[in-house]
Amino acid sequence: MRMLHRRSYYPLHRGVLALLFGLAMLIGQANTASAAAGTNTLFAHERLQPGQFLASANGQFRVHMQEDGNLVLYQNGVALWSSQTHGRSGAWLGNQGDGNLVLYHNGVAIWNSGTPGHGPSNLIVQDDGNLVLYKAGNVPTWASGTQRPPSNVGTNTLFAHERLQPGQFLASANGQFRVHMQEDGNLVLYQNGVALWSSQTHGRSGAWLGNQGDGNLVLYHNGVAIWNSGTPGHGPSNLIVQDDGNLVLYKAGNVPTWASRNDSSNDSSIVGNIFADSSNVPCAAGTRDVGIMDGYRSGTLTKIRLCALPNLSSTSEESRPGSAYYIQGANGNALVNSRVSGAVFAMINSAKRAGINISATSTFRTMAHQQALCNGNHLCRNGNYTYVARPGTSNHQMGIAIDFAGTNVKGGTSCTSRATDPGSPVWKWLSDNAARFGYRQYAAESWHWDPLSGPTRC
């Protein structure tokens, strides 16, 4: 018989090859039940034939009886475990009634789980990635040992000691931003499908992100670190995809140690809740503190610290010395809330480096000024606030909105009918880049940009 000339890989089978072969033939003819491909269980007496597979109930894991003879467990296409029996085309997996899992190739056992004598058992691809053989009473007799640690997939936080596996993602609470651990090895932050930041590690299929207990975020590929946040030693930290589109690592005490948006200074992120009192938030490095003013949000007075931006001039009356609403210290510069001062300062620096001649027509606006604007606009006077906001509700009154010069197209109030102005270098640059700094366009006005999100922001 041909099989007698084949090498047996397990001593167990040397003496019982003929018996096994005979049994296999008998069982094979008498009981050829094949697994229902795609379910998660191979029951006792069933086979996995070449080309068949089992899949975990959550769809993330599959065990394939490959045509090359290798039995391979995959997570979203990435191999986690295999029987290392490739090159044996036509091999099949038998879940024998004696409790042993055996791979046969031309009648020869080429791999087995080493569990004969346990009686009828079930092989299950679990949702945690472990491939386990259970005998009666749900007692495990063999396992691939590939269970994955739990991760808060789909939530906005990767806690310390958690991993983001290939194919997994985190999403911001407002649903606008996602960071994907892509199957190609690249970690990418997206806003509605548009990439804002990446680790630039594509081409390393199977790489995963570890949020290490030492405070360092590390991407590993085949056991080698291919990217890291450079923050070891900070202790357990949480990685959060914020609603403003920034991906930030915070150590204990909510102190940021790393952020995806870090273009030109250390504090180019939007700080905290943009609608909260900012009197205790300092102006970002490079900007000028002009004091605490009355801001308004939904008609409610909120104290805000205003910062003048030396890199952005503004023709607004609040910024122009001698005008009715002038704020001392502005000296022709745009005025913004300290919470956005670093982000806007970095954004304007970036635009200027790209050669964009950028300036503002309005930034922070006082209540008296907004009231006067509304009185002077017949729509606003009559309760239509599409172009002039109701006094007390404009985002200019929180110091977070900027009207830019050089673009003045009106549009609808949703992103499908948004105002676009591709002929304007200012609008074009903002359209391509503002999101990196947490800024978005108000759909109805090509000139108005602020850090809000939702259906009216694009």
Question: Cβ closer to Zn ion: 124 or 398?
Answer: 398
With H, G, I as helix, E, B as strand and everything else as coil, classify residue 249: strand
Question: Cβ closer to Zn ion: 162 or 450?
Answer: 450
Question: Cβ closer to Zn ion: 74 or 404?
Answer: 404
Span from 151-159, 239-247, 249-257, 444-452 in contact with Zn ion (CB under 5 A): 444-452
Span from 9-17, 254-262, 396-404, 408-416 in contact with Zn ion (CB under 5 A): 396-404
**CA–CA gap between residue 281 and residue 326 (Å, rounded):** 23
Q: How far is the CB of 448 from Zn ion (least distance, A)?
A: 4
- Closest to 101 (Cα-Cα) out of 131, 58, 80: 131
| Residue 262 near residue 229 (C-beta atoms within 8 A) | no
Question: Cβ closer to Zn ion: 251 or 396?
Answer: 396
**CA–CA gap between residue 43 and residue 332 (Å, rounded):** 77
Instruction: Using CB atoms within 10 Å of the CB of residue 254, give its burial: 0 to 12 exposed, 13 to 18 middle, 19+ buried.
Output: exposed
Question: Cβ closer to Zn ion: 53 or 364?
Answer: 364
Which H/E stretch holds residue 251? strand 247-251
Q: How far is the CB of 373 from Zn ion (least distance, A)?
A: 10
Question: Cβ closer to Zn ion: 250 or 449?
Answer: 449
Instruction: Using CB atoms within 10 Å of the CB of residue 93, give its burial: 0 to 12 exposed, 13 to 18 middle, 19+ buried.
Output: buried
Q: How far is the CB of 241 from Zn ion (least distance, A)?
A: 27
Q: Which residues contact 129 (CB under 8 A, 6 or more apart)?
A: 56, 60, 61, 73, 75, 80, 146, 147, 148
Q: How far is the CB of 386 from Zn ion (least distance, A)?
A: 12
Q: How far is the CB of 291 from Zn ion (least distance, A)?
A: 23
Considering only residues 220 through 279, tell me which ones interact with Zn ion, judged by CB under 5 A: none
Q: Which amino acid is at 127?
A: D
Which H/E stretch holds residue 66? none
Question: Cβ closer to Zn ion: 180 or 448?
Answer: 448
| Residue 339 near residue 331 (C-beta atoms within 8 A) | no
φ/ψ of residue 220, rounded to 5: -115, 140
Considering only residues 300 through 359, tell me which ones interact with Zn ion, judged by CB under 5 A: none
Q: Which residues contact 178 (CB under 8 A, 6 or more apart)?
A: 169, 170, 171, 172, 189, 190, 241
Q: How far is the CB of 315 from Zn ion (least distance, A)?
A: 13
Considering only residues 36 through 65, tell me which ones interact with Zn ion, judged by CB under 5 A: none
Among 336, 448, 451, 457, binds Zn ion (CB under 5 A): 448
Considering only residues 357 through 386, tell me which ones interact with Zn ion, judged by CB under 5 A: none
Q: How far is the CB of 389 from Zn ion (least distance, A)?
A: 8
Q: Which residue has the tokens 């050669």?
A: 355
Question: Cβ closer to Zn ion: 3 or 367?
Answer: 367
Q: Binding marks (x or -) toward Zn ion, 397..436, rule CB under 5 A?
A: ------x---------------------------------
Q: Which residues contact 456 (CB under 8 A, 6 or more apart)?
A: 413, 414, 415, 442, 443, 444
Give the residue at shortest CB distance from Zn ion.
448
With H, G, I as helix, E, B as strand and everything else as coil, classify residue 115: coil
Span from 100-108, 111-119, 193-201, 445-453 in contact with Zn ion (CB under 5 A): 445-453
Question: Cβ closer to Zn ion: 14 or 410?
Answer: 410
Number of residues that bind Zn ion (CB under 5 A): 2
Q: How far is the CB of 267 from Zn ion (least distance, A)?
A: 25
**CA–CA gap between residue 37 and residue 308 (Å, rounded):** 65
| Residue 12 near residue 114 (C-beta atoms within 8 A) | yes
With H, G, I as helix, E, B as strand and everything else as coil, classify residue 384: coil
CA separation (Å) from 39 to 44, 110, 129? Answer: 14, 25, 14
Q: How far is the CB of 401 from Zn ion (least distance, A)?
A: 5
Question: Cβ closer to Zn ion: 369 or 448?
Answer: 448
Question: Cβ closer to Zn ion: 146 or 424?
Answer: 424
Q: How far is the CB of 327 from Zn ion (least distance, A)?
A: 17
Q: How far is the CB of 415 from Zn ion (least distance, A)?
A: 17
Interface residues toward Zn ion, by CB under 5 A? 403, 448
